Amino acid sequence: MSTIAILSALPQEQGSLVAALQQSEKITHAGRTFWRGTLHGHAVVLALSGIGKVAAATTTTALIERFGAGRIVFTGVAGGLGAHVQVGDVVVAQDYLQHDMDASPIVDRWLVPGYPQIRMACDPSLTEALLAATRATVERDSHQIDWPSLGMAAHHVPQVHAGLIASGDRFVSTLAESTALRSALESAGHAVLAVEMEGAAVAQVCADYGVAFAAVRTVSDRADDGAHLDFLQFVETVAARYADHVVHAFLKSL
Q: What's the gap between Cα 120 and its chain centre? A: 14
* E strand map for 81-233: 90-98, 120-121, 160-167, 192-196, 212-221
Q: Three-class SS of residue 206?
A: helix
Closest to 34 measured CA to CA, from 54, 59, 16, 56: 59
Q: Which amino acid is at 207?
A: A
Strand bridging mode 42-48 / 90-98: unpaired
Cβ 120 vs Cβ 96: under 8 Å: yes
DSSP annotation of 9: S
Q: Are 15 and 80 in contact (CB under 8 A)?
A: no
Phi, psi of 67 (to 5 degrees): -110, 0
Question: How many Å apart are CA 93 and CA 160, to the nearest integer?
Answer: 11
Query: How big is the chain by its Cα radius of gyration, in Å?
Result: 17
Catalytic positions, please? 13, 221
CB atoms within 10 A of CB 85: 21
